[in-house]
A and B are shown apart, each in its own frame.
Chain A
Amino acid sequence: MNRVKKVLSSKQIVTLVWVIGLIIVWEIGATVIAQTKRTPEYVLPHISQIVDSVFSDKLVNGSQTATQIVLSNAALTLVRAGIGFIIGSIIGFILALLMNMFLPVEKIAFPYLMMIQMIPILGMAPIILAITKDIDKSRIVIAAILTFYPVATNTLAGFKAVEKAKHELMYSIAAKKKDIYKKLLIPASLPYFFTGLKISAPMAITASILVDTLQGGGGLGCMLSQSLKHAMSIYVFWQIVFFSAIIGILSFYLMSVIEKLVSPYKKVRR
């Protein structure tokens, strides 16, 4: 009994149950919809049909297959999301440093950060587009805005979580501020910094896709809305949905991998 319980509660099993459950619900939905008069593939195709469409060489917009459309537009979106993410991370980290070094900066900046964070991207995106007048720049800026906040707040929390005793060791040997940051605060807050990155990486991608929908200049989001308007195969839509979800999850794991590579930190397992 206990053994069964253990197996059932393991992480992989949970994931598996989730995926299977999702597939079942999906297929029931697809079957029900197929029974209605509408052609099912315009709304909710079977999963097998979507998988088929990935490998099919049927041209859907005259020159490209569904997969080609997704991949070529993905590059456009993801590269911008990546650039924005990197810029946002750097700004977020520097901001955390400044807020930790100078209390007034924290007092002044924090409410603004909260406010920026509360504006929905849907509202912010057109404003940014109007300011930058360039969809590429907007993608980068929006991704950066969404990234810097979780990075800044988490890193700041990391600085503040350093125990007093660890500071006292530095104090007792009259360490300079530079050394305290280099040898204590920054290494100690790395796990927090990466938590920030893990939160914001999928967000940056989502945001970049959202910005695409604003203009017809290509990108995953643009294709998403075009395919919804039946200008293209519905399979493009579903492929993008799955592709984005997978990329989002991968971006999270990529951060974990980078964390393991760069951080000398060993997690305490006790």
Chain B
Amino acid sequence: MLRAKKMNVDYSKDLGSDTEELKTGIIIENLSVRFPDKNGGDPVEALQNINLEIKPGEFVSLVGPSGCGKTTLLRTIADLQQPTTGTISIGGLTPREIRLQQKFGIVFQNPVLYEWRTVRRNVCMPMEIMGIPKPERTRRVTQMLELVGLYNFGKMHPHELSGGMQQRVGIARALALRPKILLMDEPFSALDEFTKEKLHLDLQRIWSKTKKTIIFVTHSIQEAVFLSDKVVVLSPHPGRISAVVDINLPRPRGLEIKDTMEFNSLVSKVRNSFEGV
């Protein structure tokens, strides 16, 4: 039995692809999020009248200057923030229903690790809660730590790791869940160029094998163009969508694509749609 399991080297299966119908398209209509000002001043319009459609299995990046509402949009989709007005529908369900079905995987802007748990047990934690059997958990933890290059650090505690390593633990934790919808908030911001490029390729591979919907927040236009089907540019105060740029580059994309004309003209196109920056 065990042997048969080990012999299974079908990588697509390993990464948790499934054939069940994916109802993970996201429709955002007239969404606004306003934060009341604590000192009685004008409320902050973090997001104003956002309309956006994300197809099932699409890879969408959110870019825009700091404070333009990227994190807020991600959090609202994840049911961590309630909209002031407007609706979000994910495959016909509300974000709350999707959350209760445990279909979200979130990589937070700050990694949010539990410092009393080792790296391995941090990655394991959400799977324990979801009731995934122990052998399967162990297998996935190993697999994901290898993926993010932290296999040898499994027994360490978070405070013994660098910022970039902590970030990668957060990524491994979210991926290990095999979420239908993966929400990533600047997941690679603290990483060096080499690690980042490796993870770009890995993430692209996982995404194409598992058909999950990914929403990816980043400050790097290059990164957004390289990874995405669609780049959404937000502008600040109030947070609005100033442009949606379709990225029709062929897949799978290798690193060499960054040297092509098409790639660079797309990067320029996205950059030019930044407002007032």
Contacts and interface: CB of A to CB of B under 8 A. Distances in A.
Contacts of A165: 108, 110, 112
Given A179-B129, A183-B128, A174 B99 contact: yes
B257 interface: no
B126 A173 contact: yes
A266 B108 contact: no
Interface stretch (A110-118, A184-192, A237-245): A184-192
A166 B114 CA distance: 8
Contacts of B101: 174
Contacts of B100: 174
B275 interface: no
B78 interface: yes
Interface residues of B, number: 24
A172 B104 contact: yes
A184 B117 CA distance: 10
Nearest to B100: A174
B143 to A, nearest CB: 19
Interface string A161-172: 001011011111
A263 to B, nearest CB: 7
Contact of A172 (B80, B116, B117): B80
A268 interface: yes
A58 to B, nearest CB: 54
Nearest to B125: A183
A264 interface: yes
B78 A172 contact: yes
A38 to B, nearest CB: 59
Size class of the contact patch on chain A: 20 to 34
B114 A184 contact: yes
B169 interface: no
Nearest to B112: A165
Interface string A215-226: 000000000000
Interface in B103-135: 104, 106, 108, 110, 112, 114-117, 125-126, 128-130
A175 interface: yes
Interface in A198-219: none
B129 A183 contact: yes
B157 A266 contact: yes
Given A173-B129, A175-B129, A268-B159, A188 B116 contact: yes
A183 B79 CA distance: 22
Contacts of B129: 170, 173, 175-176, 179, 183
25 contacts: A168-B108, A169-B106, A169-B108, A171-B80, A172-B79, A172-B80, A172-B99, A173-B102, A173-B104, A173-B126, A173-B130, A173-B177, A174-B101, A175-B129, A176-B129, A183-B114, A183-B129, A188-B116, A190-B116, A264-B117, A265-B116, A266-B115, A266-B159, A268-B159, A270-B159
Given A171-B99, A269-B159, 11 more contacts: A163-B112, A172-B79, A173-B102, A173-B130, A174-B100, A174-B102, A183-B128, A184-B114, A187-B117, A188-B116, A265-B116
